[in-house]
Amino acid sequence: MSTKGRSAARLARGAVKRQQILDAAAKVLARRGYAATTLAEIAEEVGSAGAGSLYYHFDSREQLIEELLCRGVHVAFEESRRAVACLPASASPLERLEAAIRAHVRSVLVESDYARASGRSAPQVPSDMWGRINADFRRYGKFYDQLIATAMASGELDATVDRSALRMLVVGAINWAPEWYRRSGTSTPDEIANLLVRLMVRGVGPAERKK
Amino acid sequence: MSTKGRSAARLARGAVKRQQILDAAAKVLARRGYAATTLAEIAEEVGSAGAGSLYYHFDSREQLIEELLCRGVHVAFEESRRAVACLPASASPLERLEAAIRAHVRSVLVESDYARASGRSAPQVPSDMWGRINADFRRYGKFYDQLIATAMASGELDATVDRSALRMLVVGAINWAPEWYRRSGTSTPDEIANLLVRLMVRGVGPAERKK
DNA sequence: GTCTATAACCGGATAGAC
DNA sequence: GTCTATCCGGTTATAGAC
């Protein structure tokens, strides 16, 4: 993306460390949550000697975390959107929604500490910070909502159910999944995603003989 | 329940304040989460002047919160069990599971700060404390698992799905619900519970004409 | 039983050496 | 750019007055 040449590369070297800090912070936040995360633990995760070192790259704990959370939503959002965009044009609205859900589950369970950190920490962020970042979360929510609305319009989902409640139940189940999912568990992330999609569409009641 | 007469009543007077503290702490924990709750805020909620006053009733912040969380699971557990027990003997295994889910949703969304606090905070408790209380959470999980297993055995749920994953997705959606549910929202708690039950059993795909 | 004061501690943030 | 030392505010916990 950069068109700035060598000087950009020189700047980028600084940016590398910045990245590493963000990566480390995402890891810590994903396992500790917003309130319990300390700069000391982040510093340890990056290999720095003390928390003071972080202040060369970031103005404050809040700013560091805010940037991290923003990236988290964008990662999950981008993954979902890409998964939808990769479908053939013939894909139905429901199939698009399903692809988004599967991608979201993958982001949160296997791919990204950022996505995991965002999902987990979103509810605990202080209100002033939330005021600055909730637009990003809403955008993602809106994206989901449109996928659902379209699937309803096509007749693939029951249009009489509360779209908002449906979305939040599904997204909630996804955001909660990192709390219990373990690699040693019985189901893989893909199997979990498949189960969640199935719950949304037809449930786990016994297969009824269709007309 | 007490059979101790007047002296118990005298002791109980002290216990009343203890209760009020626990109630206040549950309220704070439910909205702030484990890490962010401070004794000062709990004291303010009960109307005490300072945090120091709490130490007459509790040994430490940890002990106070631990007791509160234990009560939280028990409240939700008890509500669910009672809801199941109140069903007529003719109720099917699936109907029992549904009743438990509805009761759990009600506990978490409207009835109990304790249940809400427990559900929200469980993932953030430090490991030493978790070691002491996870048995209670597991007992509740086991109860759910048996309801699911029985519904599968009766043929009302597909016995080929991963019971554990199914349970955690459903419980996860419930535990997450307080994060987004607002009284001003479009659906009532009962409607949310109904939707969740429907997702589990038949999903929101279009009603298929049955055989 | 509850209050006030305070000790002990911890985490965020700054400053200056290197 | 990173480290070390340090300050400051907030939080848990204790002590002693009332």
Q: List pLDDT tens digits, range A65-101.
A: 999 999 999 999 999 999 999 999 999 999 999 999 9
Per-residue pLDDT at B4 exceeds 90:
no
Band of pLDDT at residue B13, cut at 50, 70 and 90: confident
Q: Which residues of B touch A195 (CB under 8 A)?
A: 161-162, 165-166, 169
> If 0-12 CB within 10 Å is exposed, 13-18 middle and 19+ buried, where does residue A175 land?
buried
- Least Cα distance to A178 among B101, B103, B175, B29 occurs for B175
Per-residue pLDDT at B1 exceeds 60:
no
- How far apart CA A142 and CA A133 sit, in angstroms, is 15
Q: B32, B154, B204, B209: which to substitute to probe chain A, counting the most A Cβ within 10 Å?
A: B204
Q: B180, B188, B201: which to substitute to probe chain A, counting the most A Cβ within 10 Å?
A: B180
Q: Which nucleotide is at minimal CA–C1' distance from A13?
A: D1
Asked if residues A121 and A34 have their Cβ atoms less than 8 Å apart, the reply is yes
Per-residue pLDDT at B5 exceeds 80:
no
| Closest residue (Cα, C1') to C14 | A52
Question: Rounded to a whole number, what is the distance in Å from the CA of A49 to chain B's nearest CA?
Answer: 25
> If 0-12 CB within 10 Å is exposed, 13-18 middle and 19+ buried, where does residue B148 land?
buried
* Predicted local distance difference test score (pLDDT) of residue B178: 97
| Residue B86, SS3 per DSSP | coil
Q: Residue A84 contacts by C-beta under 8 Å, 6 or more apart in sequence?
A: A96, A99, A100, A103, A147
Band of pLDDT at residue B16, cut at 50, 70 and 90: very high
Q: Which residues of A touch B185 (CB under 8 A)?
A: 164-165
* Predicted local distance difference test score (pLDDT) of residue B211: 56
- How far apart CA A97 and CA A128 sit, in angstroms, is 32
Q: What percent of chain B has pLDDT over 90?
A: 89
Q: What's the gap between Cα A121 and its chain centre?
A: 11
| Residue A210, SS3 per DSSP | strand
Asked if residues B37 and B62 have their Cβ atoms less than 8 Å apart, the reply is no
For residue range B21-43, what is the model confidence (pLDDT) as tens digits?
999 999 999 999 999 999 999 99
Q: If you search the block for the tokens 């419980």, which residue do you land on?
A: B171
- Give the relative orientation of helices B127-153 and B93-106 as an angle to the nearest 10 degrees: 150
Per-residue pLDDT at B101 exceeds 60:
yes
Q: Which long-range contacts (CB under 8 A, 24 or more apart) does B9-13 make?
A: none
* Cβ <8 Å between A172 and B180: yes
- When mean pLDDT is compared across A8-22, A130-144, B66-80, B144-158, the lowest value belongs to A8-22
Measured from the CB, is A175 under 7 Å from any atom of strand D?
A: no
pTM of the complete model: 0.95
Question: Rounded to a whole number, what is the distance in Å from the CA of A13 to chain B's nearest CA?
Answer: 36
B205, two tokens = 């795909």
- How far apart CA A72 and CA A30 sit, in angstroms, is 10
For residue range A153-193, what is the model confidence (pLDDT) as tens digits?
999 999 999 999 999 999 999 999 999 999 888 999 999 99
* Predicted local distance difference test score (pLDDT) of residue B195: 98
For residue range A92-142, what is the model confidence (pLDDT) as tens digits?
999 999 999 999 999 999 999 999 999 999 999 999 999 999 999 999 999
Q: Which nucleotide is at minimal CA–C1' distance from A48?
A: D2
Per-residue pLDDT at A13 exceeds 70:
yes
Q: Measured in angstroms, what separates residue A65's CA from nucleotide D6's C1'?
A: 25
Per-residue HEC secondary structure of A31-86 comes to: HHCCCCCCHHHHHHHHCCCCHHHHHHCCCCHHHHHHHHHHHHHHHHHHHHHHHHHC
Measured from the CB, is A38 under 7 Å from any atom of strand C?
A: yes
Q: Which residues of A touch B164 (CB under 8 A)?
A: 185-187
Q: Residue B82 contacts by C-beta under 8 Å, 6 or more apart in sequence?
A: B103
Question: Is the pLDDT higher at B207 or at B135?
Answer: B135
Q: Which residues of A touch B170 (CB under 8 A)?
A: 173
For residue range B111-121, what is the model confidence (pLDDT) as tens digits?
999 999 999 99
Terminal alpha carbon distance of chain B: 54
DSSP states along A176-202: HHHHH--TTSSS-HHHHHHHHHHHHHT
Among chain A residues 47-76, those with CB within 7 Å of any atom of strand C: 51-52, 55, 59-62
Band of pLDDT at residue A14, cut at 50, 70 and 90: confident
